[in-house]
Amino acid sequence: MKTLFMLLLFCHVASTVKHSLKYVLTATSGVKNIPEFVGLGMVDEVLAGYCDSNSKTADPKQDWVRDFIKDNPQHMDWHAQRCSRSHHVFRANIVDLKQRLNQTGGAHILQSMDGCEWDDETGEVIGFHQFGYDGEDFIVLDLQTMTWTAPRQQAFITKLRWDADKVSLEYNKNYYNHICPHWLKKYVHYGRSSLQRTDLPSVSLLQKNPSSPVSCHATGFYPDRAMMYWRKDGEEHHEDVDHGEILPNHDGSFQISVDLILSSVAPEDWRRYDCVFHLSGVEDVIVTKLDKAQIRTNWEFPAAVTGVVVGLLLLLALCIAGLFIWRRNNNGE
């Protein structure tokens, strides 16, 4: 696994009954134009709260979070204090790591991701707490053995020191097994109308040029538990198909693309192919036939644009003709 930041952006829960609460904390050294420390709180992969070292306060990012804070004002103070405390701890840890690894300059990033997942069908709770440094795993808490594991040799000193801190280990055990899922359940209750909604996407067929694959692109769906694939004669088709990842949109919805390479498909066989989108928890699927007339491209003008261009040219011709007539009439006077 690479950076925790990439994990935050692109990971998604596969089950329809699992909920998650994650805190992603990032501290930087030698990186310009961004806050020295940033904290994100995520519920079911949705940004619920934010803090940084510049604002020095916790900022709720969803209406349902603001409603929760109104009923639980002490929770806002807890997050603000955690943000401030983590900023100072992370800054000191980066200084320590740079000295330990003999790093005198450059840009460095220390991140942590912690929280819990709760299956509201089985009741299973899974806690997690891990750190990454400069894009690689650094140290991870094993909640089964209540010990820290060090993927990197440079983290072994930290492992020994944290394993010896029995008070912190006992707190972590209680927090990730009890406190974290308790708050997660409350968040899910307050945000259920938003977090548990289902939004179907708009689906389009896209192609860059005549030799490019045809991309079946779905955007605007929620949640991110979805699948999309190409079919041939009603059966899922795998040959010459490239599946893209589910990616977030700026508005909290998601998008996905699945490409079909057409070099081996005869034009008369296009009618045998279609693209299927299925959102988990929704019975209906969206089926899009492979139809050349429906493909949007950037290598030829759509009919509507062509009509506008032709209209403008005709208008220009009329204007020029009118100018000549006006000059001829004036010269004749």
Q: Which two tokens stand for residue 187?
A: 């968040």
Distance set, CA 1 to CA 135, 149, 222 (Å) = 9, 15, 26
Report the candidate in 216, 282, 202 with the shortest Cα–Cα distance to residue 249. Answer: 202
- Tens of pLDDT, residue by residue over 74-105, are 988 899 999 999 999 999 999 999 998 999 88
Q: What is the three-state SS of 55-74?
A: CCCCEECCHHHHHHHHHCHH
The answer to whether residue 126 scores a pLDDT higher than 80 is yes
**Separate counts of helices (H) and strands (E) for the chain:** 8, 18
The answer to whether residue 166 scores a pLDDT higher than 50 is yes
Question: Given this model, what pLDDT does residue 299 score?
Answer: 63
CATH of domain 4-195: 3.30.500.10
Question: Given this model, what pLDDT does residue 68 score?
Answer: 95
- Tens of pLDDT, residue by residue over 1-11, are 333 433 333 33
Please report, for the chain, the start and end positions of each structural domain, with discontinuous segments joined by +: 4-195, 202-297
- Tens of pLDDT, residue by residue over 275-309, are 999 998 888 899 999 999 999 987 654 444 445 44
Question: Given this model, what pLDDT does residue 214 score?
Answer: 96
Mean residue pLDDT across the chain: 86
The answer to whether residue 327 scores a pLDDT higher than 60 is no
Domain 202-297 has CATH 1.10.1040.50: no
Grouping H, G, I as helix, E, B as strand and the rest as coil, residue 44 is coil
The answer to whether residue 14 scores a pLDDT higher than 50 is no
Mean pLDDT of 2-27: 61
Grouping H, G, I as helix, E, B as strand and the rest as coil, residue 249 is coil
